Amino acid sequence: MAAPEIDENTRTELEAAAFRRLVEHLRGRSDVQNIDLMNLAGFCRNCLSKWYRAAAEEHGVALSDPEARETIYGMPYKEWQARFQRESTPEQQAQFAAGAASRDH
């Protein structure tokens, strides 16, 4: 079954809604560490914030890394780290190192 034809504005609105839902989901899953996301999916909250900042720059909007991270984390990054970030295990670090060459972020 072919996907329905969607006009450009509607497509943009759908993509924006999906992005907001992803950010909301990640904010609600503070138990999931960034290294886990990197190891399983090849991206993390920090990658998402970098992509957001890059998109802003493409549209002439100056956005700093801390501002972009706060958009994704829902709070200043340092606060999120203090509240939720745990030390990564040697196993997580080894998995991250093994996949580092194939990641694009």
Give me the number of domains the chain comprises: 1
Half-sphere exposure of 1 (CA within 13 A, CB side): 2
User: The domain spanning residue 83 has which CATH number?
Assistant: 1.10.3340.10
Question: 36-93 pLDDT, tens per residue?
Answer: 999 999 999 999 999 999 999 999 999 999 999 999 999 999 999 999 999 999 999 9
Do 52 and 71 form a contact (C-beta atoms < 8 A)?
yes
77 found inside a domain: yes
* Domain encompassing residue 45: 34-88
Q: Is the pLDDT of residue 31 over 90?
A: yes
Per-residue confidence band for 99, with pLDDT thresholds at 50, 70 and 90: confident
Per-residue confidence band for 2, with pLDDT thresholds at 50, 70 and 90: confident
**Alpha carbon distance 44, 41 (integer Å):** 8
15 found inside a domain: no
Residue type at position 23 = V
103 found inside a domain: no
Q: Residue 38: helix, strand or coil by DSSP? A: helix
51 found inside a domain: yes
- Predicted TM-score (pTM) of this structure: 0.85
pLDDT at site 76: 98
**Alpha carbon distance 81, 8 (integer Å):** 38
24 found inside a domain: no
Question: 15-25 pLDDT, tens per residue?
Answer: 999 999 999 99
Do 52 and 68 form a contact (C-beta atoms < 8 A)?
yes
13 found inside a domain: no
Per-residue confidence band for 102, with pLDDT thresholds at 50, 70 and 90: low
